[in-house]
Amino acid sequence: MDSESCRNGRPIRKRVLFPLLLIVFAFGSSALARTVPPNIIVILADDLGYGDVGFNGCQDIPTSNIDSLAANGVRCSNAYATHPFCGPSRAALLSGRYQQRFGFENNPDDDANNPRLGIPSDELLIPQLLEPNGYVCGAIGKWHVGYATNLHPIARGFDSFYGFLSAQSDYFNPTQLLRDRRTSSRLNISQMDSRARQSRLSILTPPNRFSST
């Protein structure tokens, strides 16, 4: 045998063992990937217009993070919502069913005393389906599919919730719900950076068109 290829037996062992190790690691990592469930993130932008994002041609509002998701992920350019406004479309997204199948065709009132004014309790929602498979689920932001305590996010399968239950929230000093406890998020104009503050003040204070020159 060639002395260069079998000197002390080491080169041959390296040539054989290294590819074998690569194969073992490849099979091991693929098996691990099959046993660990993927993270699932659903982002619903309320009342977002087609032309309000950069990847659809918007020039005046920078949406670089959303544009990055579109560029590096899967972009579906032809899709339809199940309803033209907030609550019903959210009910469909959370349940995976057309909202008219369970009578949710209008925005619900903020009536905490009505335990039936929301998604019916016999409808299974996304977190209730994911939890048996080992998922821990959280929701952040607007709920708007039930105001009574039995219809709150925690009661409908979410492990954590930070947001508001009704159709809208005050932009400054909003009262949010952390799990089932109300809390205040204090934000005022003094906490905004100078650039954002000037931008807001320019909107609140229109130029004096009648100034003398």
Note the pLDDT of residue 29. 54
Closest C-alpha to 103, from 116, 112, 114, 84? 116
For β-strands 138-142 and 160-164, DSSP reports them as: parallel
Quick: pLDDT tens for 72-108. Answer: 988 888 878 888 888 999 999 999 999 999 999 999 9
Question: What does residue 181 show for φ and ψ, rounded to 5 degrees?
Answer: -120, 130
Single out the catalytic residue among 83, 137, 144, 152.
144
Give the 3-state secondary structure of residue 66.
helix
Note the pLDDT of residue 174. 72
Q: Is 83 a catalytic residue?
A: no
Single out the catalytic residue among 58, 76, 83, 86.
86
Q: Is 152 a catalytic residue?
A: no
Q: Where are the domains of the chain?
A: 23-72, 79-204
Low-confidence ranges of the chain (pLDDT < 70): 1-34, 179-213
What's the CA gap between 171 and 67, in Å, rounded? 25
What's the CA gap between 90 and 143, in Å, rounded? 8
Give the H/E segment covering residue 160: strand 160-164
Note the pLDDT of residue 127. 95
